[in-house]
């Protein structure tokens, strides 16, 4: 009986079949590992945020026993009801990371985070507020700004995460109704809180456009304020003046890899001449 040998074509087919199978399995393992890493880091980011929120926003409850003894709270009970001061809450954050400089909350969004500042703008792109490696990074201020001095423009960055965390929810400001209804920002720096009103939202091309952090003089500042207003997708009835301070939020936008979303807000309250 004649012995049959596998044909070259059949052997080649088997080789490619097994090679393709191995590649598919390897791809599946890599995708699964990546999904696991992202899930783990998302949970870690959420846990850290909740920890920070509990430190910064928690207020002590009134002493109900003392309150029941009188129709009015005593001075001692009132002090308990007020809870820790802004500065005390800020100090509790510094115990986690001494590079925390403030707290940012944007009305109607998930932005409610500590703000950090390092000696460069790269460090907190991939580190969380406790300093650990994270794909979520942190919300951070431009390193070129000296927070111990008055600044015309405070520039803050954050990732546009697909789950809406960090600056991921700021994309809602491209919607006209959302822009009209959610214009307030709370910014606390070193325990001192202030309110800001959003007046401009637009996108830029990071390959050729930059975000201003300083201005040559009052005239240059006013000229740029006018440009921010003109570039805005929607107009806001806000009176801008040379002694204003502005807050600028910057994140990636979904149009292209180089598109950035820019949001400007002006500080509310009495104006102080800029020196």
Distance CA 84, CA 252 (A): 36
Helix axis angle, 8-57 relative to 86-94, nearest 10°? 140
- Count the alpha carbons within 13 Å of 243 in the hemisphere toward its beta carbon: 8
Distance CA 93, CA 244 (A): 29
Inter-residue contact 178 to 109 (CB < 8 Å)? no
Distance CA 123, CA 99 (A): 11
Distance CA 209, CA 190 (A): 31
CA distances from 211 to 153, 246, 265 (A): 10, 13, 14
CA distances from 228 to 76, 138, 150, 204, 264 (A): 49, 26, 21, 11, 8
Catalytic residue among 115, 116, 252, 263: 252
Tokens of 150: 């008055």
Inter-residue contact 184 to 240 (CB < 8 Å)? no
Q: Is 252 marked active-site?
A: yes
Q: Hunting for tokens 């214009």 — which residue is that?
A: 183
Inter-residue contact 180 to 195 (CB < 8 Å)? no
Neighbouring residues of 154: CB distance < 8 A, sequence distance ≥ 6? 141, 145, 187, 245, 246, 247, 248
Which candidate, 210, 135, 216, 211, places its Cα nearest to that of 168? 135
Q: Which residues are catalytic?
A: 252
């Amino acid at each position: 009986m004649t012995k049959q040998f596998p044909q070259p074509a059949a052997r080649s087919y088997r080789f490619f079949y097994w090679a393709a199978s191995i590649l598919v399995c390897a791809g599946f393992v890599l995708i699964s590992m990546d999904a696991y890493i992202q899930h783990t880091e998302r949970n870690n980011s959420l846990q850290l945020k909740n920890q920070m929120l509990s430190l910064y926003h928690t207020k002590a409850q009134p002493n109900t026993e003392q309150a029941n003894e009188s129709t009015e709270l005593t001075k001692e009970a009132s002090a308990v009801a007020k809870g820790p001061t802004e500065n005390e809450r800020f100090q509790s954050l510094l115990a986690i990371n001494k590079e925390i400089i403030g707290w940012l909350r944007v009305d109607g969004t998930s932005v409610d985070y500590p703000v950090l500042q390092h000696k460069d703008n790269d460090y907190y792109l991939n580190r969380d507020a406790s300093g650990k490696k994270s794909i979520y990074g942190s919300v951070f201020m431009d390193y070129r700004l000296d927070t111990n001095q008055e600044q015309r423009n405070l520039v803050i960055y954050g990732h546009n995460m697909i789950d809406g965390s960090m600056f991921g929810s700021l994309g809602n400001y491209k919607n006209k109704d959302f822009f009209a209804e959610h214009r307030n920002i709370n910014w606390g720096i070193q325990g001192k809180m202030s309110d800001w009103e959003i007046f401009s939202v637009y996108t830029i091309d990071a390959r050729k456009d930059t975000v201003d952090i300083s201005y040559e003089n009052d005239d240059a500042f006013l000229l740029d304020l006018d440009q921010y207003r003109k570039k805005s997708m929607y107009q806001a009835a806000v009176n801008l003046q040379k002694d204003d301070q502005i807050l600028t939020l910057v994140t990636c936008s979904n149009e292209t890899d180089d598109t950035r979303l820019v949001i400007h807000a002006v500080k509310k309250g009495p104006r102080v001449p800029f020196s």
